[in-house]
Amino acid sequence: MEDLRGGVAVITGAGSGIGEGLARVAAEQGMKVVVADIALDRADSVANAIAEQGGEALAVKVDVSDPQSIEALAATVHDHWGDVTLLVNNAGVETLGFSWELSAQQWEKTLNINIHGAIHGVRAFAPRMIAAGKPAWIANTASIGGLGMMPIQTSYILSKHAMISFSECLFLEMQIKQAPITVSAILPGPVATRIFEDGGTTTDTSSEQHRVMMNTMLEADGISGYEAAQRILPQLAAGDFWVSTHPDITREFAAGRAAHLSALAKPALPEEVLRGMGLSVNGK
């Protein structure tokens, strides 16, 4: 963690949830923090709270679905504080609905934020980070959902699979460039955030029931965004590629995914998930 002290951290989606937690924990570790979020009021609130605790923070409005907005963010950060030490492409949204019932606009919004936001974040920041020649870190927030499958959350799940793949390939690219950039994929488990509260849905009953079920589960069992960040940041600093808030759950999901692919099995849901959706299990 000492390697991060005094450096500059840029965190997207930092106005709430895991992003807010990472901003606060990074500031506590002596980093200058750029709190980037599409909701400037939330970003300002987080930045002000950090300042009140004696930290340094800059709130910046950014729309990660817009490449020009991210490029403007990168220019602002470098003009204000110089080289970036830690970039966390964390912004993400949840959209619920059957694949064919989501509008083209809902699909575009979800994929542009969840996938293109990270891609363009790397495009905007990585060239300067590589040119600086200093040790630096890039992390992309995926999900344990990226190791599994879930109907109705299709747009989200596929985006998190993409984030894992993007992170793996980016890791290898940095090796080829011999750049001192550590790349990590963050796979949060149950974390109580606003993602289902803020998420969009279609109007069908199944989507709304699913949203309520998932939100209730996170409220009951999820850790806070701050606690998640306390677990995440040391792993990033240590150079771990797979970064988890719940290691045991992550290993379980990874083992299940490996077994599923190894067997070339048909897609299936666990019995407890089927019951939660009100569906019969083996005719019962």
Catalytic sites, residue numbers? 156
Residue found by looking up tokens 């110089």 in the block: 82
Nearest Cα neighbor of 162 from 124, 117, 204 is 117
Q: Is 217 exposed, middle or buried (0-12, 13-18, 19+ CB in 10 A)?
A: middle
Distance CA(171)–CA(184), nearest Å, equals 8
Q: Which two tokens stand for residue 55?
A: 């930290």
The enclosing H or E element of 222 equals none
Distance CA(158)–CA(232), nearest Å, equals 23
Helices (H), the chain: 17-28, 40-52, 67-81, 104-111, 117-132, 154-177, 195-198, 205-221, 225-237, 247-262, 271-276
Distance CA(95)–CA(76), nearest Å, equals 31
Distance CA(18)–CA(106), nearest Å, equals 23
